[in-house]
Amino acid sequence: MFKKEYVTVPNILSVSRIVLLPILFVFISLRMYFSFTVAYTILGMTDMFDGMIARRFNMKTEIGKQLDSIADLFFFLSSAYFIHVLYTDYLKPNMPLFFIFMSIFVLSFIVSYIRCGKVILLHTFLAKLNAVLVYFLVIASYFLDTTYVITFILCSYIVTFTEETFMLGIYGNIDPDTLTIFSLMKAGRK
């Protein structure tokens, strides 16, 4: 059911990231790479602003967290596709790491579904850091060879989703905004 309180600036920004994502695919198909880079930069900024506005103006809601997670999932999976299509030469040497990352990524979803009855995408410190790195990676790849940056980010994502898998496996249904496994351990949740 649609509720008026769901219509907030942070939620609109999250939804815009999903709704406007096809424009990026159109730019790629038309070989408008500079336009793609500019649009990607602008669209990616909505991820920063939705959370900032929600926290600053006390607009945090459960539906907002879910919308942000869904938008993040679509945006960053699309980012992997964009890197594959636009910058294949930078990704190719990193394919073994990419497959390890994807395996752990899928495993984290399986563990969350088994332990919590739903797929949970956590907003840990490392997940947020990696999102920022991927965002800048796509932009920087237009200008520079980013092969080694991709290596670093994939290694970081392997650590990130290993941590998330352990968090969900050990603690079950946790707040998606939990920053690290250490914060759970410190809180004594076992």
pLDDT digits (tens, 9 = 90+) for 127-182: 999 999 999 999 999 999 999 999 999 999 999 999 999 999 999 989 888 999 99
Q: How far apart are CA 109 and CA 131, in angstroms?
A: 18
Same domain, 113 and 176: yes
182 burial (CB, 10 Å; 0-12 / 13-18 / 19+) is: exposed
- Look up the domain containing 68 and give its range: 1-86
Same domain, 2 and 72: yes
Instruction: Please tell me the total count of domains within the chain.
Output: 2
Does pTM top 0.75 for this prediction? Answer: yes
Residue 145's Cα: distance from chain center in Å? 22
Instruction: Supply the pLDDT for residue 190.
Output: 47
Same domain, 3 and 73: yes
Same domain, 149 and 93: yes
Instruction: Tell which of 22, 55, 86 closes a domain.
Output: 86
Same domain, 79 and 19: yes
Confidence of residue 123 (pLDDT cuts 50, 70, 90): confident
Same domain, 137 and 69: no
Instruction: Tell which of 65, 86, 107 closes a domain.
Output: 86
